[in-house]
Amino acid sequence: MDVKTALSKRKSTRAFLDKEVSIDIVNEIIEQSKTAPSGVNTQPWQIAVLTGESKNNLCNKFEKAFRDGLKGSMDYKYYPVEWKDEYKERRKECGLLLYSALEIKREDKQRQIDQWALNYQAFNAPVILLFFIDTTMEKGSYMDYGMFIQSIMLSAVEYGLATCPQAALGEYPDIVRQEFPEYKDKLVLCGLALGYEDNNHIVNSYRTTREDLNSFVNYYC
């Protein structure tokens, strides 16, 4: 598969089949992706691969915290404190596309809550990758990590797998560190749902839009 095709096929998938993913394939994907660039070759990535009981236990604790009203607090600020209008509009459009596809109306708060809760179940994907980073690392390493995660998502496409990068899986970092104490001194960056896409689920039928080049690219000669 060429890169152009992989880029066009990659999307945030929110419904997965109940189908096991071979750990050998997961390892191959990570092996390929570790060639991603990083400043002075720091390779700041540290990953926990969760399946089966480990995944289910963590996801259930996430969802319980959410439904109990415990507000998530990531180890770092993922989103801006104040939203500029252009970003606010794109965020709004993203949510509207999702709820429209699922026919969830504005006044149906319970369905909205239930849909959001699926984030904490990684949309029932069979595999979760949790990403950690040393607390001493700075913003450059976050840029490196983004290239690494994108490499994983593109590599997954080649194996017929779908992904969803999720900040939500980093919203309860203390729960993560309680479950996996070997990461107690690490920062929880985010997570990635990985599995086979459920092509029959309506939630996977919509795609978010992208801006025209002339709205964010300037050319200088």
Residue boundaries of the structural domains of the chain: 3-78+119-208
Distance (Å, whole) CA 80 – CA 6:
30
Distance (Å, whole) CA 67 – CA 6:
36
At 9, list the tokens. 């096929």
Instruction: Give pLDDT, residue 48.
Output: 98
CATH superfamily ID and name for 3-78+119-208: NADH Oxidase (3.40.109.10)
* Contact between residue 14 and residue 118 where contact means Cβ atoms under 8 Å apart: yes
Q: Which regions of the chain are under pLDDT 50? A: none
**What's the one-letter identity of residue 90?**
R
Helix axes 23-33, 139-158, angle to 10 degrees: 130
Enclosing H/E stretch for 199: none
Determine what percent of the chain falls in helix, strand and coil, rounding each to the nearest 5.
50, 15, 35
Instruction: Give pLDDT, residue 158.
Output: 96
Which residue spans within the chain are E strands per DSSP? 46-50, 127-134, 162-166, 186-195
Instruction: Give pLDDT, residue 1.
Output: 86
Phi-psi region of 211 (alpha: psi -120 to 50; beta: other; left: phi over 0): beta
Give per-residue pLDDT as tens, 123-152.
999 999 999 999 999 999 999 999 999 999
Instruction: Give pLDDT, residue 183.
Output: 98
